[in-house]
Amino acid sequence: MKHRSFLLYLPVALLLTPFFLAPMAVIGTESFSGQHGVGAEYVKVVTDQGIRTVLYNTFYVAAMVTILSLLIGYPIAYVLARLKGRWATIGIFLIFLPFWASTVIRSFAWMILLGRKGPVNSILLGIGLIEDPIRFIDNGLGLMIAMTYIMVPFIVVPILNGLRAIDPNLPRAAAVLGANPWRQFLAVTLPLSMPNIAVGCTIVFVTSLGFFVTPSLLGGDLTVVSMLISEQANRLLDWPLASALAIIVLLLTIVIFALLRLSQLASRRRDKARSGVFA
Amino acid sequence: MDTIRNGLSRRSVLKLGAGTAAVSFLAMPAIGRAAPTSLSVANGGGALGDAFKAACFDTFEKKTGIKIISAPYMEGARLKAMVEAGAVDIDVTDTDSSEAAPLAVAGLLDEIDYSVVPKDSLIDGAASKYWTSCYIAGCVLSWNTDSAKDGRPKNWQEFFDPKFKGRRTLWKNAAQTMEVAALGAGQTLDKLYPIDIDRAFAMLDGIRSSITWWTSGAQSAQLLANGDADFGMCWNGRVDPVKQQGGPIDYTFDYSLHTPGIWSLPKGGRNRDTAMKFIAHCMDPEVQAAFSKLIPYGPTNDKAFDILSAEERARMPSSPENRKLSVAIDGDYWLENGTKIYDRFNTWVVTK
């Protein structure tokens, strides 16, 4: 049995080895091939104040975009899950409508919308909410708005799938037991959709780490690592440093997900222990 | 299969393989000598690509019967990967000199053969060892005409003077931005290099809170036309079309930086001789004048200016009238000092 289940990994391995593991090995080797001695690039990545700030910016933006996407995407998925038949199809169609325009165009549009004299600032100034235009395109605020807008569909779909898979009798049972709608949601629906929230957040977070066009147009003084890698690889032809940057981002991402997984396992163990009391 | 397995020993199969390899090796020079029916020329596309096609590609095909296939822009990394893999399928590339310089040092470009490419009437610096400049773009002081009603900076010193109120838009890139900052610090056009980096950064410090960064040429023109910035550094090829269409934007060639667009040959290209003829064709005054009429980038062949009208010359950064108050970007300077300055610049941008 054990042998056979191992074989099930074969297609994945066949896909990942040439298209992910082998390129990563090439980049890993490249990152140690600098002229300044083995590992010098890593020392630079870790000690250079500018590069450290860029790495911090990258993960900060990805985290903020993930949180905002979840806050906006969950209610949308919740409403979509309750739509029936044709309305559900139309709803999902609308969610994916923005994909008909490229990221470049959508980012450019946000640059105009959020500009100093753009519609958003004009409206806010007009109704007297602000006295000076908000500098969306200079400080990273506009970047996070635009990226959230791009990423929301990616979190809606997995959560929608999760919500649809929940047996409608479960919230009903909670209602019978006296739970109000809010409590039904908190005690039944939300915990049951947690795995899908985790999937959606992972997709959004990892994709956000690699954004390039949107930060180029809307990043302002907030540089992210993809821009730095591109500059090193294309303009300065410093492939060892560009590779070291890519490897560091990969390692940091792995560490973050390992920590998440550990905390998940720990909480599951806690739940088991708790339910054991009643067993 | 059966014949090989039964009738041939392993050794004879190897011999056969070696023989085939030898034959194809001998045959190769013959293939290489035959004139190709097409050339692949990578370029920036868009308005630039349209101008190249009408002025350079189509006329070359008419003259020689060799078709030019326009290929997408070759970033440095792609060119390096292509050459190092020995799979060079691009014959000529258009980049700017600051991108080509590191490629040349890394040994990724072929030398230009100036016995084929005529260089006598080319402007200073156009005929370089590893590339030939085919047009001159200008990095110019530009402004939104509505904002400029209350006055505009006349030069980079005023531009970098914090007393001059208004939002500035600058390229989020060390090269060119350090040059204008140095001019802001009072370095003169003829003594711009070596750049006094400390003084240039002091200039940037002074206006930090009023900088809006751009990363692409289209973006810079958009920011100025929208009024998101009041004045800025832009490439003339980007602001001029917006101005011609009546956008609220204007610029001056005073104190402009010249950045050459260049043709270069990725090392190991199969059609070197034809590629060289193509570059020679692009240096023709008629071809260059036709090109400059389509996009406001200046010719590198002085004779081309004779064909252009005074009105057309006024839009060219490199025209005899406009080049008086300008300076050419020094590619060698950036090659030597690039890494250090880019590091400091990137850190400056993100550190508040």
Query: Between B77, B227, B228, which is nearest A137 by CB?
Result: B228
List B69's β-bridge partners, or say none.
B40
pLDDT at A120: 93
Do A149 and A142 form a contact (C-beta atoms < 8 A)?
no
Strands B249-266 and B132-144, sheet pairing:
antiparallel
**What average pLDDT does range A134-142 have in this prediction?**
91
Residues of chain B with Cβ-Cβ distance to A231 below 8 Å are 342, 346
DSSP H helical segments within chain B, as ranges? 2-7, 10-33, 46-52, 58-64, 76-84, 97-105, 156-159, 174-184, 197-207, 217-226, 236-244, 272-282, 285-294, 302-307, 310-313, 331-350
**Does residue A103 form part of some domain?**
yes
**Does residue A1 form part of some domain?**
no
Determine the structural domain holding residue A235 and report its residue range.
38-265
Whether B222 sits inside 8 A of A237 (CB atoms) is no
Q: B212 by DSSP, 3-state: which?
A: strand
Give the CATH number for residue A205: 1.10.3720.10
Q: How confident is the model at residue B110 (pLDDT cuts 50, 70, 90)?
A: very high
Q: Is the ipTM of this complex over 0.90?
A: no
Per residue in A139-149, pLDDT tens? 899 999 999 99
Residues of chain A with Cβ-Cβ distance to B99 below 8 Å are 234-235
Distance from CA of B229 to the nearest CA of A (A): 8
Query: Between A50, A138, A239, which is nearest B351 by CB?
Result: A50
Whether B213 sits inside 8 A of A234 (CB atoms) is no
Whether A115 sits inside 8 A of B228 (CB atoms) is yes
pLDDT at B7 over 50: no
Q: How confident is the model at residue B143 (pLDDT cuts 50, 70, 90)?
A: very high
**Does residue A17 form part of some domain?**
no
Query: Between A108, A112, A223, which is nearest B346 by CB?
Result: A223
pLDDT at A3: 63
**Does residue A135 form part of some domain?**
yes
Per residue in B48-107, pLDDT tens? 899 999 999 999 999 999 999 999 999 999 999 999 999 899 999 998 888 888 899 899
Distance from CA of B169 to the nearest CA of A (A): 10
Task: Give the residue on A whose Cα is nearest the Cα of B97.
Answer: A235
Residues of chain B with Cβ-Cβ distance to A228 below 8 Å are 346
Least confident window among A7-21, B30-44, B67-81: B30-44
Total domains, chain A:
1
Q: What is the mean pLDDT of chain B?
A: 87
Residues of chain A with Cβ-Cβ distance to B223 below 8 Å are 111, 115
Whether B352 sits inside 8 A of A221 (CB atoms) is yes
Task: Give the residue on A whose Cα is nearest the Cα of B78.
Answer: A234
Strands B249-266 and B109-110, sheet pairing:
antiparallel
Do A279 and A79 form a contact (C-beta atoms < 8 A)?
no
**Does residue A260 form part of some domain?**
yes
With a CB cutoff of 8 Å and minimum separation 6, the contacts of B8 are B16
Share of chain B above pLDDT 70, in %: 90
Domains, in order of start, for chain B: 36-135+260-316 (3.40.190.10), 137-258+329-350 (3.40.190.10)
**Does residue A117 form part of some domain?**
yes
Query: Between A57, A118, A235, which is nearest B99 by CB?
Result: A235
Query: Between B75, B172, B229, which is nearest A234 by CB?
Result: B75
**Does residue A31 form part of some domain?**
no
| Structure tokens, B230 | 């009041």
pLDDT at A278 over 70: no
| Structure tokens, B186 | 């009072």
**Does residue A210 form part of some domain?**
yes
